[in-house]
């Protein structure tokens, strides 16, 4: 009895409760930028919540995409013998097609773009300015215009290339090239020329300067180009669809597109989620590698800046 | 700007640029000329396939004139054109109304929260657009969480069908899809503003609001315009968002019309003319944007 009386005695709390803080927060709209805090967090949560819910439904125990029927583990990934991503040939094929396109795109567009960036940054003259201007166009051309023009070109000009994986790869490289140029050129400007000049002064041949000085310095940019090309290629829908050869050329986005209009199963969510896992792992690795490669270069507190710099690639 | 021809052999840099430039000419410029050729070409009367006209002297302007006539009030594309402009305009305004404060808030952060917020902000970038649309469709399905919540909370006991020709869903989906592409460039622009200018404004007696109005806002104007162009261009050509979210002809946009001509009807020359008109319409925006980018690049170069 006495114990209960002790515990129920009103005690002055040293810390304000959450509810108290919330009422204070509403009562005083001045001071801290409360409206901005609220809006930012509402935005951040609402931009991510749908994706989290979609991933949740890839684990649904039923065939519904809108009503949660319990956790089914890996049923839609490989458990289900007919409809899971692993056992449905169409879904499996789409996954491999996406990875194939992104991989090839990455391997072709990055070297091509690095060379183009180096060339355009240092080559002077009228032809150079024209090429510089031309390079920027793919960044601002709406994808449908690019898709239509490429498909018409393959139908009427380069008739030896039919709509196929080859055509898709050519299209993907065309739109990712400019991203590589923008990223690499940014790095090129930030490192300047002193290192190369020093190497040349110390007797390095042009080839040695390129290979032993410039290339290692460009490595972080080359690496983030690889990652970004992979990410935008895996994300691409329009170009892949316009150059598609039918079911054999279906990528994951094309599958999702056709499934939303039919009656999709959670396996489509599983397929889309796999893509999210892939990109998240790739981003995690690239972030760590990038930090490792540029250690000692970054001013304190600038974490993430480079990420924004390369993500806001349009921004030059 | 010093010349550095000393280190590397003359002609090395043009040689480096050559493969990329050739690639862009063959797979960007030539395809664009193919659109022009098809738009001004004829159609094979037997096989119904387009016969492009490569020589400008042989151009046939019939389908272009027919298409252009469609854009006049009362024409075939008038309604679609107005609808596209209204959708893009509304979606862009909502994006700016939400995106600017968010970018502003994050750019003013100096603590560890900034990195966390940045990572969260970049996250949607790494999730495929189609995946995000699929998530959106699942949420707004008749039996989805949104409708369940609306019914349960009695805000809207009889929730509407969001996914069948509902223009509100299409506009909101466009906002949801494109807003990350607006926030990041905007954030980069706001980040670049020199903080000491704001301090100077405060020292000279400006209150926070007028400091924002007279310093931050004007300095971020280029960023606002650039970011708006970046998302407006793809929105004008978007056909998959309205198709996924609504699928109804009552909400179709210009992109859907182009898609229809190529994937549905045997009228590639009209489709090509539509593409050309869309491209020319957007060229104004593009030219402005390219001009400002080129200017910014030149400033970086000359530093």
Q: What percent of chain A has pLDDT over 90?
A: 23
Q: Which residues of A10-40 are buried (b: 16+ CB within 10 A; e: fewer)?
A: eeeeeeeeeeeeeeeeeeeeeeebeebeebb
Structure token pair of residue A267: 């396996």
pLDDT reported for residue B91 = 96
Number of domains in chain A: 1
Lowest-pLDDT range of A248-257, A274-283, B232-241: A274-283
- What is the CATH number for B206? 1.10.3720.10
Return the H-helix or E-strand segment holding B156.
none
Closest CA to B237 of B206, B280, B196: B280
Q: Which residues contact B11 (CB under 8 A, 6 or more apart)?
A: none
Torsion of CA A106, A109, A113, A114, to 10 degrees: 40
Q: Residue A59: its chain B contacts at CB < 8 A?
A: none
In a domain? residue B65: no
Centroid of chain to Cα B40: 27
pLDDT over threshold 70, residue A295: yes
Q: What is the DSSP string of B179-210?
A: HHHHHHHHHHHHHHS-HHHHHHHHHTT--HHH
Phi-psi region of A67 (alpha: psi -120 to 50; beta: other; left: phi over 0): beta
Number of domains in chain B: 1
Which residue has better confidence, A306 or A14? A14
pLDDT reported for residue A16 = 65
Q: CB neighbours (10 Å) of residue B281?
A: 15
Phi, psi of B50 (to 5 degrees): -70, 145
Closest CA to A240 of A104, A145, A147: A147
**Could you say which of B187, B233, B268 has the minimum Cβ distance to residue A140?**
B233
Tell me: ipTM over 0.90. Answer: no
Q: List the domain range (segments joined by +) for residue A237.
A: 89-295
Q: Of A31-45, A228-242, B157-171, which has the strongest mean pLDDT?
A: A228-242
B53 DSSP assignment? -
Q: CB neighbours (10 Å) of residue A275?
A: 25
Nearest-angstrom CA–CA distance, A65 and A246: 26
pLDDT reported for residue B57 = 79
E strand map for A66-205:
none
- Banded model confidence at residue B223, pLDDT cuts 50, 70, 90: confident
Arithmetic mean of pLDDT over chain A: 81
- What is the CATH number for A272? 1.10.3720.10
**Could you say which of A143, A171, A275 has the minimum Cβ distance to residue B128?**
A275
pLDDT tens string B29-83: 999 999 998 888 877 766 667 778 787 877 888 888 888 888 888 888 899 999 9
Q: Does B136 touch chain A (CB under 8 A)?
A: yes
pLDDT tens string A82-102: 777 888 888 889 999 999 999
The predicted model gives A118-140 an average pLDDT of 87
Q: Residue A142: its chain B contacts at CB < 8 A?
A: 233-234, 236-237, 278-279, 282
Minimum distance, in Å, between the CA of residue B75 and any CA atom of chain A: 23
pLDDT reported for residue A118 = 92
Q: Cβ-count burial of A160 within 10 angstroms (0-12 exposed, 13-18 middle, 19+ buried)? A: exposed
The predicted model gives A269-294 an average pLDDT of 83
Nearest-angstrom CA–CA distance, B171 and B203: 43
Q: Residue B135: its chain A contacts at CB < 8 A?
A: 50-51, 53-54
**Could you say which of A123, A193, A206 has the minimum Cβ distance to residue B14?**
A123
- Banded model confidence at residue B2, pLDDT cuts 50, 70, 90: very low
pLDDT tens string B237-296: 999 999 988 878 888 899 998 888 887 766 778 888 889 989 888 888 778 777 776 676
In a domain? residue A305: no
Q: List the domain range (segments joined by +) for residue B252.
A: 77-265
In a domain? residue A101: yes
Which residue has better confidence, B302 or A303? B302
Q: Does B28 touch chain A (CB under 8 A)?
A: yes
Q: Cβ-count burial of B31 within 10 angstroms (0-12 exposed, 13-18 middle, 19+ buried)? A: buried
In a domain? residue A50: no
Q: Does B150 touch chain A (CB under 8 A)?
A: no
Token pair 């002064």 in the structure block, residue = A201
Which residue has better confidence, B7 or A268? A268
pLDDT over threshold 90, residue A112: yes
Lowest-pLDDT range of A141-155, A238-252, A278-292, B250-264: A278-292
Q: For helices B30-39 and B268-302, what crossing angle results, to 10°? A: 150
Q: CB B132 to CB A153 under 8 A?
A: no
Q: Residue A37: its chain B contacts at CB < 8 A?
A: 105
Q: Is the dihedral of CA A314, B4, B6, B10 positive or negative?
A: positive
Minimum distance, in Å, between the CA of residue B33 and any CA atom of chain A: 8
Q: Does B209 touch chain A (CB under 8 A)?
A: no
Q: What percent of chain A has pLDDT over 70?
A: 84
In a domain? residue A30: no
Q: Residue B185: its chain A contacts at CB < 8 A?
A: 312, 314-315
A60 DSSP assignment? B
In a domain? residue A82: no
In a domain? residue A266: yes
In a domain? residue B28: no
pLDDT reported for residue A289 = 84
pLDDT reported for residue A303 = 39
Nearest-angstrom CA–CA distance, A166 and A242: 13
pLDDT reported for residue B20 = 93
Q: Which residue does chain A place closest to B35, by CA atoms?
A: A149
Q: Which of A260, A288, A302, A310 to mutate to test the interface with B (most CBs of B within 10 A)?
A: A260
Phi, psi of A264 (to 5 degrees): -75, 150
Q: Residue A153: its chain B contacts at CB < 8 A?
A: 27, 30-31, 34
Q: Which of A41, A50, A192 to mutate to test the interface with B (most CBs of B within 10 A)?
A: A50
The number of helix segments (H) and strand segments (E) in chain A equals 14, 0
In a domain? residue A314: no
The predicted model gives A32-38 an average pLDDT of 78
- Banded model confidence at residue B139, pLDDT cuts 50, 70, 90: confident
Q: Cβ-count burial of B80 within 10 angstroms (0-12 exposed, 13-18 middle, 19+ buried)? A: buried
Q: Angle CA(A244)–CA(A249)–CA(A250) in degrees, nearest 5?
A: 100
In a domain? residue B31: no
Minimum distance, in Å, between the CA of residue B74 and any CA atom of chain A: 25
Q: Residue B292: its chain A contacts at CB < 8 A?
A: none
Q: Which of A57, A115, A153, A263 to mutate to test the interface with B (most CBs of B within 10 A)?
A: A153
Nearest-angstrom CA–CA distance, A76 and A57: 10
The helix, strand and coil proportions of chain B, stated in percent and rounded to the nearest 5, come to 75, 0, 25
Q: CB B101 to CB A134 under 8 A?
A: no
The predicted model gives A175-188 an average pLDDT of 92
Q: Which residue does chain A place closest to B21, by CA atoms?
A: A131
The predicted model gives B11-33 an average pLDDT of 92
In a domain? residue A15: no
Minimum distance, in Å, between the CA of residue B156 and any CA atom of chain A: 19
Nearest-angstrom CA–CA distance, A79 and A307: 37
């Amino acid at each position: 009895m006495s114990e209960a009386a002790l515990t129920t005695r009103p005690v002055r709390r040293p810390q304000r409760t959450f509810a108290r803080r919330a009422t204070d927060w509403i009562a005083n709209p001045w001071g801290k930028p409360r409206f901005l805090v609220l809006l930012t967090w509402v935005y951040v949560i609402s931009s991510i919540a749908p994706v989290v819910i979609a991933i949740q439904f890839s684990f649904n125990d039923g065939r519904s995409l809108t009503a949660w029927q319990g956790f089914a583990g890996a049923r839609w990934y490989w458990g289900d013998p007919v409809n899971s991503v692993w056992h449905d040939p169409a879904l499996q094929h789409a996954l491999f097609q996406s990875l194939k396109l992104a991989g090839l795109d990455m391997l072709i567009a990055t070297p091509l773009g690095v060379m183009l960036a180096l060339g355009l940054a240092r080559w002077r003259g009228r032809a150079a300015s024209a090429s510089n201007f031309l390079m920027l166009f793919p960044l601002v051309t709406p994808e449908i215009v690019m898709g239509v023009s490429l498909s018409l070109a393959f139908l009427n000009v380069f008739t030896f290339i039919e709509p196929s994986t080859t055509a898709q790869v050519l299209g993907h490289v065309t739109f990712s090239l400019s991203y590589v140029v923008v990223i690499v050129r940014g790095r090129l400007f930030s490192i300047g020329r002193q290192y190369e000049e020093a190497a040349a002064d110390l007797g390095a041949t042009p080839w040695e300067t390129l290979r032993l000085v410039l290339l290692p310095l460009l490595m972080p940019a080359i690496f983030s180009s690889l990652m970004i090309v992979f990410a935008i290629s895996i994300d691409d829908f329009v170009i892949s669809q316009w150059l598609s050869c039918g079911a054999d050329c279906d990528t994951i986005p094309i599958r999702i597109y056709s499934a939303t209009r039919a009656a999709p199963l959670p396996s489509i969510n599983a397929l889309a989620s796999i893509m999210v896992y892939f990109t998240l792992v790739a981003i995690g690795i690239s972030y760590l590698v990038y930090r490792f490669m540029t250690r000692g270069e970054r001013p304190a507190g600038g974490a993430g800046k480079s990420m924004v710099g390369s993500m806001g690639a349009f921004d030059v | 700007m010093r010349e550095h021809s000393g280190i590397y052999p003359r002609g090395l840099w043009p040689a480096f640029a050559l493969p990329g430039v050739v690639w862009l000419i063959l797979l960007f410029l030539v395809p664009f000329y193919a659109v022009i050729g098809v738009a001004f070409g004829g159609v094979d009367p037997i096989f119904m396939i387009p016969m492009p006209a490569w020589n400008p002297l042989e151009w046939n302007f019939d389908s272009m004139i027919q298409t252009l006539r469609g854009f006049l009030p009362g024409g075939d594309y008038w309604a679609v054109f107005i609808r596209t402009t209204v959708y893009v305009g509304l979606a862009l305004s909502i994006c700016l109304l939400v995106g600017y404060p968010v970018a502003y808030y994050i750019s003013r952060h100096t603590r560890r929260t900034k990195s966390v917020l940045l990572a969260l902000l970049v996250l949607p970038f790494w999730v495929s657009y189609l995946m995000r649309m699929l998530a959106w469709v699942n949420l707004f399905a008749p039996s989805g969480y949104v409708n369940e919540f609306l019914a349960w909370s009695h805000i809207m006991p009889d929730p509407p069908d969001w996914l069948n020709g509902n223009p509100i869903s299409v506009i909101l989906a466009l906002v949801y899809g494109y807003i990350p592409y607006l926030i990041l460039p905007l954030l980069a622009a706001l980040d670049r503003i020199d903080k000491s200018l704001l301090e100077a404004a405060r020292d000279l007696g400006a209150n926070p609001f007028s400091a924002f109005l007279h310093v931050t806002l004007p300095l971020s104007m280029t960023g606002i315009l650039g970011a708006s162009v970046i998302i407006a261009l793809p929105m004008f050509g978007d056909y998959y968002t309205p198709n996924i979210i609504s699928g109804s002809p009552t909400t179709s946009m210009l992109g859907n019309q182009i898609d229809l001509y190529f994937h549905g009807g045997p009228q590639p020359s009209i489709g090509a003319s539509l593409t050309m008109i869309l491209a020319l319409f957007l060229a104004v925006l593009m030219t402005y944007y390219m001009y400002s980018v080129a200017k910014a690049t030149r400033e970086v170069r000359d530093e």
